[in-house]
A and B are shown apart, each in its own frame.
Chain A
């Protein structure tokens, strides 16, 4: 049992990172920290894919004369794409945070929600009057 757990330590690591990332996304009110959490979450998936591609005793898949076992290169390539996507997401997320900070003057979710609620109330009162 213990052996099985230790033998798959990288999967445990993936799950650990995944949960940390998700937890940050859910629990933090700071918009920047949320994006950080999102990044950790995505990183765990990169690790998962890289783990999949690894073949025991395999080397990098470069054609040489010697007969060798190769690791599966495909997941690595896939994850390159996913990393690019992750970078784009992060950049866009931060861009939005900057804009939010410019117009609300805060990057704390609670403050922003309070501002929006106040605006809503004003709108409702106007509509009723």
Chain B
């Protein structure tokens, strides 16, 4: 047992990685799913153990193959990545029970083995990016997750062939982004001679004036900005989320961009630190305006969408704006909001895309006109959309409110009055697009020619409602999430100054 507990960090990544090829060998529809489910739950259990261990006894450092850092690859778990690991594996653990029927409906039944293989690889990549303490290793895992994500998105081609072009565009932009990242890492390596993040942070301290370091910083931020769909580098996101199979959208929307945010946080705060030379400037002059533009342009674009998946995809662009805004605020409250919103946004968008998957299962496409009058026929699904939608708006007693609370708090602490007002103004845009749907579903008249529609099966409703309940639970009792997020923020800002 002690041997096992010692190797927990590596199990987090190794188990999904090794089970992926196994999965491709499995035939049929049920077996690959079962394997993926088991692996996800296992990963979830591990991430819980890791978080507990980190909260109790501090950071964990695991030396890959017993090679001591900085020469060997180190897996380093502290509060922040334990938290992100929990988000990823938690979403996966909830999404997979939901996935069976949805995937059976949307993906070619002969390809389920491959589909779940790609899914497991994607999970591996995301977990790997988060847990590793090695800059180049981040790139490798990032590419594992991205390549499998392209495949997963393209799997939506059976429903709509535009999934192919969406995947292609994501591939091109994603590869450019990852390559930028690797250039940045190369430049840092050139100056410091190390790839270990903790070591990098040490050696980079006296080099603030070094131009290679500055260029490396810029490459890393822009590369990850592409991956996290930071405005205006978000163009790949709406199509990718719209045409991917429902389960994939649920999973990617809740996790993929979050992991990129994590990497940005890691480099901004652990490696460079806000007090480091030029870094503080980027907060106010780059992140802040971009975040605000994202909030407004994303939300405004969402208002004009007729396809609901695309609507919420644009809303994701806006929500990522909030996350980046928290970074830009640069104080404890703002950073707490960022970390909180990683979790909270995963809950909201997970629930919303799951609900849209339920709708897609019953009526095919999810357009605003298609869902007219469906509120009565699929009461549970639409109650879930309403609940998660309220959370997206940031109504009190939902998680969205807690995030906004900290964001505004952060803005006021900096005395950035206009920013505080802009935050609330942009939430009002969310009211418009969420209400558009609620009104259509509950007070609209069913389009002609649509027969009676059955409620989604319990197997999909149960995970969906688990997410919705979590939206409210963590909105009312936010003690757990805020204390973790607060701790993370304090660590980041503490280590930086």
B369 touching A89 by the CB < 8 A rule? no
Asked if A38 meets B175 with Cβ closer than 8 Å, knowing A96-B167, A127-B369, the reply is: yes
Asked if A97 is at the interface of the complex by the 8 Å CB criterion, the answer is yes
CA distance A93 to B171 in the complex (A): 7
A38–B140 alpha-carbon span in the complex (Å): 17
Partner of A85, one of B140, B150, B306: B140
Q: What's the Cα separation between A104 and B147 when bound, in Å?
A: 23
A111 to B404, CA, bound (A): 44
Within 8 A of A (CB), among B358-389: 367, 369
Q: Which residue of B lies closest to A126 (CB)?
A: B369
| B185 to A, closest residue via Cβ | A78
Residue A8 CB within 8 A of the other chain? no
Encode contact with A along B155-187: 1 for CB under 8 Å, 0 otherwise: 001000110110110011001101100110010
Q: CB-CB < 8 A to B147: which residues of A?
A: 85, 88-89, 92
Check B165–A89 contact: CB distance below 8 A.
Answer: no
Nearest opposing residue in chain B for A98, CB measure: B164
Q: Which residues of A contact B140 (CB under 8 A)?
A: 81, 85
Interface string of A87-101 (1 = CB under 8 A from B): 011001100110110
Closest CB in chain B relative to A22 CB, distance in Å = 7
Q: Chain B binding site: helix, strand, loop or mixed by DSSP?
A: helix
Determine which of A74, A88, A99 lies in contact with B154 in the assembled complex, contact meaning CB atoms within 8 Å.
A99
Set of chain B residues within 8 Å of A104, measured between Cβ atoms: 161, 165
Residues of A within 8 A of B186 (CB): 45, 48-49, 52, 75
B22 within 8 A of A: no
CA separation between A93 and B164, bound complex, in Å? 10
Q: Nearest chain B CB to A125's CB is how many angstroms away?
A: 12
B189 located at the interface, meaning its Cβ lies under 8 Å from any Cβ of chain A in the complex: yes
Check: A71 CB closer than 8 A to any chain B CB. Answer: no
A-B pairs with beta carbons under 8 A, tally: 77
CB distance from B458 to the nearest CB of A (A): 31
Which A residues touch B195, using CB under 8 A? 74, 78
B123 interfacial by beta-carbon distance below 8 Å? no
Contact with B along A107-122 (1 / 0, CB 8 A): 0000010001001000
Q: Is the CB of B183 within 8 A of A92?
A: no
The answer, yes or no, to whether B143 is at the interface (CB within 8 Å) is yes
Is B150's CB under 8 angstroms from A103's CB? no
* Interface check A124, CB cutoff 8 A: yes
> Distance (Å) between the CB of A129 and the closest chain B CB?
10
Highest count of chain A CB atoms <10 Å: which of B140, B176, B178: B176
15 contacts between A and B (CB under 8 A): A22-B176, A25-B172, A34-B172, A75-B189, A78-B195, A81-B140, A85-B143, A85-B178, A89-B171, A89-B175, A104-B165, A112-B165, A119-B162, A124-B306, A127-B306
Q: A42-B179, A82-B139 are in contact. List 10 more A-B contacts (CB 8 A).
A: A25-B172, A31-B168, A41-B179, A78-B136, A81-B140, A82-B182, A85-B140, A92-B151, A124-B306, A127-B306
